[in-house]
Structure 1
Amino acid sequence: MKKIILGLSLLSCISGLHAQSLKLTSTDVRQGEQVKDAYVLNGSGCTGKNISPQLSWTGAPAETKSFAITMFDSDAPTGSGWWHWSLVNIPKEINSVARNAGSTDGKNIPVGAVQGRTDFGGPGYGGPCPPAGDATHHYHFKIWALKVDKLPVDKDSGGALVGYMLNSNSIASAELVPVSVRPAQ
């Protein structure tokens, strides 16, 4: 019995040494804090600069073959949320994206990566802009570690398709969830 307990204890320690925890951080947005104007949409009644924030990640599993980033508003009054950004096929050697990586022209994304179509109707980052007077909205920035090099998506692939492909190929993920509220006008 002592050998079994000792063996299980050792196994637990060894697996703990190999376990990594994917973590997403940003110099521009913070967990639970209001999104600053620079990262807010410019349009639909909002007057931000619509710049995607800087994002970095650490602790990816060794078997990671690529990464993806998504931004999703779970509180949008649509019945199905709102896709603000998807960036897939990020090479496994990359561990951050700079501020404004999500520009709609795609010139700032990592080589080989693809931005999918947002619910604004095109590829690229679309910042927060909750309806005036609506409750607080939560913006889920998520990094996905994937078991495949490339997902078969392009600039016309919508959020639901990208989300399905990510969930089907994810080996780890981490979120950073800032908020936004727009006072009633």
Structure 2
Amino acid sequence: MVPFQADLVAETVGYPLPLAQSNHSVSRRGVIRGVHFADTPPGQAKYIYCARGALIDIVIDIRLGSPTFGKWEAVRLSSETYNSIYISEGLGHCFLALEDDTVMNYLCSTPFTPAREHAINPLDPALGLPWAEYLDGAAPVLSAKDTDAPSLAEAEAAGLLPKYQTCVDHYASLRANA
């Protein structure tokens, strides 16, 4: 398997994914991680695949002013299919482990910088994420960081969310410098 090919990502996205950090997480069934995002610019683009087990990966448009603000897409990633997902800077990201010992790998365009990192509570009813569909009645498992994270409305009121036009300008700059 070749889960990442730089030239294919650059061709698809319009600019290369600079690799500043590689993350690896192991989760048991029912663990939800996220919704996480970074200040943009520079933001943090992510290329994600599941090396073992299976997960539901969700990308949420949290860019203020975006025509798709608040909308999300869910994709099943697994070690059987080795499919992957690319997440642009300025978007929110979370996932749910569907099996014990699920390993998720993500390649990041910028290093983890705590002062620029933010979270939204993944159980915020306003997001309408499909956790119940996959949990079969089990309670989700969240970190304290994610449990204590603000709702989408609270993050917006606190000025934490990226602005759509700022992100669009950032993407254009990345393409121009490719």
Q: Which has the higher contact order (CA 8 A, sep 6+)?
A: 2
Higher helix residue share = 2
